[in-house]
Amino acid sequence: MKEKNKILAISGSTRVQSTNLNYIRAIAQLSADIFEIKIFQGLTDLPHFNPDLDIEFLTAPEVVKSFRQLLREADGILICTPEYAMGVPGTLKNAIDWTISSCEFMHKPTALVTASSQGSKGHVSLIETLNIIEAMMTPATQLLIPVAKTKINSELKILDEKTLNELNSLIQELHHLALNKKESF
């Protein structure tokens, strides 16, 4: 049996029953043969980013150290987020900020799904952030799903054929990036 890629999924929404969490679960179902997806549950537990708490990577709070370890252990990262007030949700940006000095995203295969009412401004902003911290992405691992609630149901079925095709392409590209990353070491 082939070893599955370990993917850490991060929902940018803090809601327990969020559309973004449903998309992550749907992606987990669609990719069950190639990915082992672990959903990060501690987004709201991370303290506000403060560089004074992270001197030489040794003094970071334990919850931050645990988050960083999960990122390091993953073969790839899946972020699925809404757009809040035309931007990136603060809790998600805060989590990413905790990785800037420790570089967990650097050269890490990463997929970004922005699933929101509109989403375009938050999507572009987060792509810029992920690019500057050198996350490994391609256009095929970046997907904007506008009017997202209408394209998935409570049983995690993707109702829109175009969205389903785009998600399947994103899954295949993330898989390809993760395999190439493993083979390069």
Instruction: Single out the residue of 150, 162, 158, 72 nearest to residue 116, CA to CA.
Output: 150
Length of the chain: 185
Q: For residue 35, what are the domain limits?
A: 5-183
Mean of pLDDT values over 127-148 = 98
What is the amino acid identity at position 133? I
The pLDDT value given to residue 57 = 57
Mean of pLDDT values over 163-170 = 98
Structural domains of the chain, count: 1
Q: What are phi and psi of 143, to 5 degrees?
A: -135, 125
**Where residue 31 sits, what CATH number does that domain have?**
3.40.50.360
Pairing status of strand 142-146 against strand 110-116: parallel
pTM: predicted TM-score of the whole model, two decimal places: 0.95
The pLDDT value given to residue 79 = 98
